[in-house]
């Protein structure tokens, strides 16, 4: 309660001190001029504050019920919406204010444009606080930074007086901006970014500066366009400025959101954006007719087939894949009215293709699942186990032949079926792989707890040709981008269908992680080293890797975790220290856990905990 009291007092002092300084330093007439601007700016700020702060209760529930990664993902989305609101509001005030004042009470009541620019930047940074304030308040963090608002208010008065002597009225508002650094440089990175999300100060600084630079660029372009041609009629000038304020910043924000140029540049330079030996070799050494572009119209126009391979993450709340990225591409193709066939390669729920055909009133779309391993994506396209096409038609045969002609493997089985069956094939295939991983993991759990030789048992079992000596190396659990989400999606599709096995496959993965964690915890280590976050050998992909589940369990038992992961260029990962000097990493760790062994781990066998037998996937 005391902390909340200090926050309220500090906020009141900051908001009221500007008028006091203006009246004392510049006189009551200047206060009157400023009050016209303040009334409008404060109204805008009050309206938009409510939009973000109204979510505080929901955020509080999210903090209690969800993992940090999920909460941080929601935080980033809310912050982007907040940025759009803040930049749009501040730029609108910047562009429209002078022409509005001119119509309302006359040009003699205008403040200098420099003052307006500082006022609008101050409005932007105040509105951008809302996301941080909502998460901080939802977490109940008031006591730790209770003195920060008071310090901000004192700094505001101090810098406003000093800068007023140099810059006049603009200096007073510059003092308000400078005093706000107390929150931006201390309170938000420490009590939101670090405390709630275990994210680094560097990441916070880079993202905050990125948003500021984007706002400055948007505001500069909008202001330049508004001043390029001034109209003599004040009403027409006002209408022109409203149009600029509404259209220009929003168009530029949408373009920036859709453009991620790094991977495009890498591909055009012959550099693979992912770790894959075949892709690296082909981009570097083969004469490929390949061009990457940021312009979807350039990519789609004239194409016989538009292949859609966007990510479809599993949404735990809805129990289904998030197919919005796939539908976004479908809508663009439909809107362009192209004579083309869309081929969805993304993993999708059973029945998705039929649903989108009805939704978008189009028939030029089919499904063809891909069966690719991390680190071997191109190899698995050149030497496919099979080609599945979710349609029985001439265009389906044409597309299948394209895949076959592009492959190096000669004898390839091609299977045509309806789209719904093809969607089921993908989910059932990956669920079977998850079942096989889980089977050998539970075999290993039994052997470990009963002091049996896992390798002898596995090899004895796998001599049966019906089982086969493959995909049988114990691990910390199945992970990666496909198996965890695909098994959950298939289980969701089993609603109202009798089953036991599918649910058991999903639960088995958590049971395996619990067992591995317990075996490590029973050694009572103070520091556990994580050797590689990646799931697969020769891969740089560690999305949803099983070892991250182990990390969470260890940290809950107050065990310090450090990470060795050469693909990471940062000193932290999700708040955990990254040490990429292997000797230092090994010396600091009491135990090193490795999902897969390699040459480096041979030197620290006395510290290693692993269930890897064959040093392969």
Q: Kindly report, residue by residue over 467-516, the tens digit of the pLDDT.
A: 999 999 999 998 877 888 889 889 988 888 999 999 999 999 999 999 99
Exposure of 319 by Cβ count < 10 A (0-12 exposed, 13-18 middle, 19+ buried)?
Answer: middle
CA–CA separation, 314 vs 482, rounded Å? 10
pLDDT band at 44 (very low <50, low <70, confident <90, very high): confident
Determine phi and psi for 564, rounding to 5 degrees. -110, 110
Q: How many CA atoms lie within 13 A of 97 on its CB side?
A: 28
CA–CA separation, 313 vs 323, rounded Å? 8
Identified catalytic residue from 120, 185, 362, 482: 482
Give the pLDDT confidence of 254-270 residue by residue, as tens digits: 444 444 566 777 777 77
Share of the chain above pLDDT 70, in %: 92
CA–CA separation, 125 vs 112, rounded Å? 21
- Token pair of 308, please? 């859609």
Contact 320, 463 (CB under 8 A): no
For the cut 50, the answer to whether the pLDDT of residue 72 exceeds it is yes
For the cut 70, the answer to whether the pLDDT of residue 3 exceeds it is no
This model's pTM is above 0.75: no
Determine the pLDDT at residue 538. 61
Question: How far apart, in Å, are the Cα atoms of 525 and each of 10, 174, 423, 478, 529?
Answer: 46, 53, 45, 25, 10
The mean pLDDT of 76-84, rounded to a whole number, is 85
Determine the pLDDT at residue 474. 95
Q: Which residue did the predictor score with more confidence, 534 or 426?
A: 426
The mean pLDDT of 182-188, rounded to a whole number, is 72
For the cut 80, the answer to whether the pLDDT of residue 336 exceeds it is yes
Q: Which residue did the predictor score with more confidence, 310 or 497?
A: 497
- Of 443, 444, 395, which Cα lies nearest the Cα of 416? 395
CA–CA separation, 192 vs 177, rounded Å? 21
Share of the chain above pLDDT 90, in %: 37
CA–CA separation, 596 vs 615, rounded Å? 6
Determine the pLDDT at residue 58. 83
Determine the pLDDT at residue 541. 66
The mean pLDDT of 193-207, rounded to a whole number, is 79
The mean pLDDT of 426-443, rounded to a whole number, is 95
The mean pLDDT of 117-138, rounded to a whole number, is 86
Question: Quick one: which H or E segment has residue 188?
Answer: helix 188-188
CA–CA separation, 75 vs 61, rounded Å? 13
For the cut 70, the answer to whether the pLDDT of residue 455 exceeds it is yes
Determine the pLDDT at residue 8. 60
CA–CA separation, 423 vs 366, rounded Å? 10
Clarify whether 482 is annotated catalytic: yes
Q: If you average pLDDT over every residue of the chain, what do you get?
A: 85
Determine the pLDDT at residue 15. 62
Determine the pLDDT at residue 430. 93
């Amino acid at each position: 309660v005391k902390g909340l009291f200090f926050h309220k007092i500090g906020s009141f002092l900051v908001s009221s001190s500007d008028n006091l300084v203006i009246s004392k330093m510049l006189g009551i007439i200047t206060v009157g001029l400023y009050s016209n601007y303040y009334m409008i700016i404060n109204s805008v700020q009050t309206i938009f504050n409510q939009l973000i702060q109204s979510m505080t209760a929901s955020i509080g529930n999210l903090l209690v019920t969800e993992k940090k990664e999920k909460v941080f993902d929601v935080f980033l989305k809310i912050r982007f919406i907040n940025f759009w609101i803040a930049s749009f509001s501040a730029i609108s005030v910047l562009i429209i204010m002078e022409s509005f004042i001119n119509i309302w009470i006359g040009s003699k009541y205008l403040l200098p444009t420099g003052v307006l620019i500082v006022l609008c930047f101050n409005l932007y940074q105040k509105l951008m606080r809302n996301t941080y304030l909502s998460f901080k308040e939802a977490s109940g963090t008031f006591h730790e930074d209770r003195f920060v608002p008071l310090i901000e208010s004192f700094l505001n008065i101090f810098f406003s007086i000093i800068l007023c002597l140099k810059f006049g009225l603009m200096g007073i508002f510059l003092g308000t901006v400078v005093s706000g650094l107390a929150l931006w440089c201390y309170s938000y990175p420490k009590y939101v970014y670090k405390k709630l999300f275990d994210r680094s100060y560097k990441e916070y600084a880079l993202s905050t500066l990125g948003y500021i630079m984007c706002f400055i660029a948007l505001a500069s372009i909008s202001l330049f366009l508004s001043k390029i041609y001034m109209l003599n009629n004040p009403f027409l000038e006002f209408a022109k400025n409203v149009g600029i304020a509404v259209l220009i910043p929003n168009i530029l924000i949408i373009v920036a959101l859709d453009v991620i140029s790094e991977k495009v540049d890498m591909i055009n330079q012959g550099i693979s954006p992912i770790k894959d030996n075949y892709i690296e070799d082909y981009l570097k050494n083969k004469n490929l007719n390949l061009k990457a572009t940021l312009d979807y119209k350039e990519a789609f126009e004239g194409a016989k087939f538009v292949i859609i391979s966007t990510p479809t993450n599993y949404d735990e709340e809805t129990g289904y894949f998030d197919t919005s990225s796939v539908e976004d591409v479908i809508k663009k193709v439909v809107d362009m009215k192209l004579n083309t066939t869309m081929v969805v390669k993304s993993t999708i729920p059973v029945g998705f293709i039929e649903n989108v055909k009805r939704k978008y009133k189009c028939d030029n779309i089919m499904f063809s699942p891909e069966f690719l391993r991390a680190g071997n994506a191109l190899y698995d396209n050149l030497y496919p186990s099979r080609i599945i096409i979710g349609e029985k038609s001439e265009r389906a045969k044409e597309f299948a032949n394209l895949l076959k002609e592009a492959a190096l493997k000669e004898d390839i089985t091609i299977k045509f079926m309806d789209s719904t069956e093809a969607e089921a094939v993908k989910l059932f295939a990956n669920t079977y792989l998850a079942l096989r991983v889980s089977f050998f993991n539970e075999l290993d759990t039994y052997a470990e707890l009963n002091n049996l030789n896992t390798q002898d048992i596995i090899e004895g079992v796998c001599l049966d040709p019906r089982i086969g000596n493959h995909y049988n190396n114990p691990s910390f659990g199945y992970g990666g981008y496909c198996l965890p989400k695909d098994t959950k999606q298939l289980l969701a599709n089993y609603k109202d269908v009798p089953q036991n096995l599918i649910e058991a496959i999903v639960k088995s993965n958590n049971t395996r992680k619990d067992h591995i964690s317990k075996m490590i915890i029973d050694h009572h280590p103070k520091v556990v080293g994580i050797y590689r976050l990646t799931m697969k050998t020769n891969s740089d992909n560690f999305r949803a890797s099983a070892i991250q589940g182990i990390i969470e369990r260890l940290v809950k038992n107050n065990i310090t975790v450090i990470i060795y992961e050469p693909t990471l260029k940062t000193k932290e990962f999700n708040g955990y220290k990254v040490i990429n000097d292997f000797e230092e990493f090994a010396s600091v760790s009491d135990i090193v856990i490795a999902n897969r062994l390699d040459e480096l781990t041979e030197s620290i066998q006395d510290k290693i905990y692993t269930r890897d037998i064959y040093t392969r996937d």
